[in-house]
């Protein structure tokens, strides 16, 4: 299998790159793609930058230029689900844009109102989490909401929950899911909580980003390292 793996920030790809063998670097436009092996699989790893447009463009490049057959988006997120805590993991069964009018998306071709994580990739990511030493972390399967802002407000958080009822919020997943769905390529989003998307969100992010990013990376490495 040829996987494309996207992280937005350096912390989100570092823990994967260190496990890759025979790494080759390819520059394409302003991006750097790393192709190599983990176990029996080939992967192309890339840091896309923060936000939806960066993520969508990069997913398309992975598919067109690097023949990605499946795309994994790995990283950190703000917890929204009632029981979801910092360092818990959320794996996408579905991703939505919380800052776009999905009712209009649904009304016109291609009639999308959400993007669905591939069940096999979701199951493989969940199995990888279960098999690793995950301390007190829990893994949840469910909906992720994506938008082009860092959420650090209880009021904004409550509004996103009221409209979409997701487990977590981040800034790239729906764009990756959107691009992959348009191309007919399976995808999954794997996020470890760095914060609670509330007034302490920025501080928590700063403290937890690296350790949370590593959790998600470990899941990706275990998933891709298998058959």
Length of the chain: 227
Q: What SS3 state is found at 68?
A: coil
Name the token pair of 68: 């990605």
Does 77 engage in binding with ligand SAH (CB under 6 A)?
Answer: yes
Does 190 engage in binding with ligand SAH (CB under 6 A)?
Answer: no
Site for ligand SAH in 163-182 (CB under 6 A): 169-172
Residue 133 falls in the annotated catalytic set: no
Does 14 engage in binding with ligand SAH (CB under 6 A)?
Answer: no
Q: Choosing from 12, 94, 152, 170, which is the catalytic residue?
A: 12
Does 88 engage in binding with ligand SAH (CB under 6 A)?
Answer: no
Q: Which stretch binds ligand SAH (CB under 6 A): 31-39, 58-66, 86-94, 199-207?
A: 199-207
Q: Is 88 exposed, middle or buried (0-12, 13-18, 19+ CB in 10 A)?
A: buried
The answer to whether 60 touches 183, Cβ cutoff 8 Å, is yes
Does 59 engage in binding with ligand SAH (CB under 6 A)?
Answer: no
Nearer to ligand SAH, 35 or 192 (CB): 192
Which of 181-198 are b and which e, b meaning 16 or more Cβ less than 10 Å from the residue's Cβ? Answer: bebebbbbbbbbbbbbbb
Q: Given the structure tokens 């009018």, which residue do they identify? A: 101
Residue 12 falls in the annotated catalytic set: yes
Contact residues for ligand SAH, defined by CB under 6 A? 8-9, 50, 75-78, 150-152, 169-172, 194-195, 197, 201-202, 205
């Amino acid at each position: 299998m040829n996987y494309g793996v996207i992280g937005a920030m350096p912390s989100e790809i570092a823990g994967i790159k260190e496990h890759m063998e025979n790494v080759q670097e390819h520059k394409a436009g302003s991006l750097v793609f790393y192709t190599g092996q983990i176990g029996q699989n080939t992967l192309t790893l890339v840091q896309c930058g923060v936000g939806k447009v960066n993520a969508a463009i990069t997913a398309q490049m992975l598919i067109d230029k690097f023949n990605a057959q499946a795309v994994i988006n790995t990283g950190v997120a703000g917890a929204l689900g009632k029981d979801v805590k910092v360092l818990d993991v959320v794996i996408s069964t579905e991703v939505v844009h919380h800052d776009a009018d999905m009712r209009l998306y649904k009304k016109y071709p291609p009639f999308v109102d959400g993007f669905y994580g591939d069940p096999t990739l979701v199951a493989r990511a969940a199995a990888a989490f279960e098999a690793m030493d995950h301390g007190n972390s829990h893994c949840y399967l469910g909906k992720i909401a994506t938008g082009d802002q860092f959420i650090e407000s209880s009021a904004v958080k409550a509004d996103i929950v009221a409209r979409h009822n997701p487990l977590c919020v981040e800034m790239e997943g729906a764009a990756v899911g959107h691009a992959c769905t348009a191309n007919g390529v399976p995808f999954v989003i794997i996020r470890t909580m760095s914060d609670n998307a509330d007034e302490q969100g920025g501080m928590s992010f700063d403290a937890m980003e690296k350790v949370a990013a590593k959790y998600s990376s470990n899941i990706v490495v275990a998933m891709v390292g298998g058959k």
